[in-house]
A and B are shown apart, each in its own frame.
Chain A
Amino acid sequence: MSGEGDGAMERLYAERLARYTTAMRNGRPDMVPIRPFVAEFTARHAGFTCQEVTHDYDKAFEAARRCAVDFDWDAVVSNMVYVWTGLTQAMGLRYYGVPGIDVPPDVGFQYLEPGDDGAFMRADEYDELIADPTAFLYNVWLPRVSSEVMQPGEASSYRGNLALVKGAMAMMQYFGAFGTQNARLRCESGTVSAIAGIFKAPFDILADKLRGYVGLCMDMCEQPSKVLEACEALMPHLYHVAKTTADPLQQVPIGYWMHRGCVPFVSPDQFASHYWPTVRPIIEELWRHGHQTLFYAEGDWKHHLESFRELPDQSIVYHVDQADVFDVHERLGDKFCLSGGIPNFLLAHRPASEVRDFCKKVIDVVAADGGYIMDASAIMQHDTRGENLAAMTECTREYGVYSGGTSSPPATPIVAEGSLSAHGGSATRPGQCVEWAKKAASLPVLEGDADLVEEVWNNIDSLGNVFIWQWLLSF
């Protein structure tokens, strides 16, 4: 990739990567890194509609690259308009409102949570989920969220079979395209792809995709121990997804999208009994393997900062949404790098001068000793003004320069295998769908290289696992 002319771009990339990773390890780089989570803003900037970037991921990728070229940003998400209609159409996915189909062409795609009467998992189905989460997702959940896929026992259909084939091929195609996108970001603008991999809390998975928030609230009242058991059953699987999708070079963090585990969505007792105990071990284990997690703390998690302090130094990057970024800095800044905290309201609706004033204050106080990454509070949709993002960028470059900053490569923690890699009690191991043992029982005695046969079986079987868990977590 690095020909003659690319040397300068490669140097820029290396500089930005060092700046970004140094800050993330709570260090003091040469200047404050800028890593804006721009979603539908990219479309606005590149002259596309929301419909275009949602239906055509090449356009979405192009829009992200255009922003990366036009703004002096250290890192971006390769495509924050992450829903691609090709995928949702293939499966007849029920839970997205899609621009041009369900919502107007210039409105961003949106997740639509069903009410408690239409939840994708019923209150009496906990045992089935707990016994085998992967099988539950395939057998119960998928046929409910898809208008095409049939339930086991129902007569199979042409459309149902097609949906599975098209859905799987579309996912391969889409995920494959990210590799090229990241390489192009690197060599065309020297920009780092900001995150790799995905994690969500067991509790949030139950609320977002299975029981719905209201349904889960009822369950927490009527069958709290089942909810806890379900969270525990999900843990090894969610850990597996995070671990296997993480950056193998351990440079950029795993995205952890935090939805409704904080006060007032739950009580402090529920946070302590259900939410945190089923998250903390996963974050710790990921860190033991050298992976940082980006806590994208949507809303205001001010009641829980003490719990987050239980985590090892530097193990997370803490993103500030509606909380007071100065307060969070005082309470967490010694342990973790922070990002965000620039109100989207300012970026969308106030003059650039106000954006500059606020950013300057954040740089002066929160970024004073390093360990801060400039970004808006929430993801930026098409209401964000370009001139305000430019103001945020310029102000950071102007005031965000450190004297005597270093760019030390991040230290790699010791790797030790913990309990989460184990079975976790569910019938199907994390990462698999049909165990080799079951398959082997149906085969004649193998000759030659039996390990090879097993290896191929497991590799292909794991694709079935990737498919279903990615639907659950990423789309």
Chain B
Amino acid sequence: MPGDQELFDAVLQADRDRVIAAVRAGVDGGTPVSSLLMDCMVPAMREIGDRFAAGELFIPEMLFAARAMQAGLDIVEPLLGDSDHGSLGRVAVGTVKGDMHDIGKNLVVMMLKGGGYRVTDLGVDCSLETYEAAVAEGSTVLCCSALLTSTMTYMKQVVGRFQKDPAVKVIVGGAPVTRAFAEDIGADGFAEHASEATRVVSACLAGSAPAR
């Protein structure tokens, strides 16, 4: 992590003020913003995701880390050129129609942001039109979350809608969603935990096999 252990630590410890200070110092000191993002913040978020998956961190800590990271991103993002993180791709994340649960979806948003992706948070209760609009704005990966057995079937409609468009991938998740269900409806990817979302998205973008 060239140069900025401080930024890495600050994100990891969810210290918002220190993140802001470290990003400002980095920018002022001439560190390329892409490096602040990819070499400091992204690895810190990966570490946080791994610790969450390992049961060493919990949702409250994840929320705080997300806030700290967001404060840093707010400074970094306007300074990033398209080539800086545009190359990773644009991802849209939303909870499907009829479903208002967003705690898990927010964790996915945060992990993907922390993975260096450009993320559009579509919020909850997302209809096909919402996902279509996200694609029209350049998202190539759609992440759908559902917490109710009555709404998870909507994911099938989302998958169906974009089936004929090879450029668009649909990834599904949420407590009742299983790998078997994801395969059944023909989703391009599935993950049990938010922390795996970046891996699944990157596999999708690399054009790898469906639902693994």
- Residue positions of A touching B, CB distance < 8 A: 97, 103, 107-108, 110, 112, 213-214, 217, 220-221, 263-267, 270, 299, 322, 343-345, 347-349, 378, 381-383
In B34-67, the 8 Å CB interface with A consists of 52, 55, 58-61, 63-64
What are 30 A-B contacts defined by CB distance under 8 Å? A97-B100, A107-B98, A108-B150, A110-B100, A112-B100, A213-B103, A217-B59, A217-B64, A220-B60, A221-B64, A263-B55, A264-B52, A264-B55, A264-B59, A266-B58, A266-B59, A270-B58, A270-B60, A299-B175, A322-B175, A344-B149, A344-B176, A347-B149, A349-B149, A349-B153, A349-B181, A378-B149, A381-B149, A383-B149, A383-B153
16 extra interface residue pairs, beta carbon distance < 8 Å, beyond A343-B176, A348-B149: A110-B100, A217-B59, A221-B60, A221-B64, A265-B59, A267-B60, A270-B58, A270-B60, A344-B176, A345-B152, A349-B153, A378-B149, A381-B149, A383-B148, A383-B150, A383-B153
Contacts of A220 in B (CB 8 A): 60
State the CA gap A96–B175 with chains docked (Å): 23
CB distance from A350 to the nearest CB of B (A): 10
- Best-surrounded residue of B55, B176, B181 (most CB of chain A within 10 A): B176
Partner of A263, one of B58, B103, B150, B152: B58
Contacts of A378 in B (CB 8 A): 149
CB distance from B175 to the nearest CB of A (A): 6
State the CA gap A148–B121 with chains docked (Å): 34
Do most interface residues of chain B lie in helix, strand or loop, or is the interface mixed?
loop
- Best-surrounded residue of B149, B150, B178 (most CB of chain A within 10 A): B149
B176 touches A266 (CB 8 A): no
B contact residues, range: 20 to 34
Contacts of B100 in A (CB 8 A): 97, 110, 112
CB distance from B176 to the nearest CB of A (A): 5
State the CA gap A217–B149 with chains docked (Å): 27
State the CA gap A267–B55 with chains docked (Å): 9
B150 touches A382 (CB 8 A): yes
A267 touches B153 (CB 8 A): no
State the CA gap A214–B152 with chains docked (Å): 25
CB distance from A146 to the nearest CB of B (A): 21
- Best-surrounded residue of B60, B103, B148, B152 (most CB of chain A within 10 A): B60
- Best-surrounded residue of B98, B103, B150 (most CB of chain A within 10 A): B150
Partner of A345, one of B61, B63, B64, B176: B176
Contact string against A for B residues 136-157, beta-carbon threshold 8 Å, 1 for contact and 0 otherwise: 0000000000001110110000
Which residue on chain B has the smallest CB distance to residue A220?
A: B60
A381 touches B175 (CB 8 A): no
A381 touches B58 (CB 8 A): no
CB distance from A102 to the nearest CB of B (A): 11
Contacts of A343 in B (CB 8 A): 176
CB distance from A37 to the nearest CB of B (A): 14
State the CA gap A162–B118 with chains docked (Å): 51
State the CA gap A221–B178 with chains docked (Å): 34
A265 touches B58 (CB 8 A): yes
Contacts of A110 in B (CB 8 A): 100
State the CA gap A157–B17 with chains docked (Å): 46
CB distance from A251 to the nearest CB of B (A): 31
A267 touches B58 (CB 8 A): yes
CB distance from B194 to the nearest CB of A (A): 10
- Asked if A381 meets B148 with Cβ closer than 8 Å, knowing A107-B98, A112-B100, A344-B176, the reply is yes
State the CA gap A464–B46 with chains docked (Å): 52
CB distance from A355 to the nearest CB of B (A): 13
Which residue on chain B has the smallest CB distance to residue A108?
A: B150
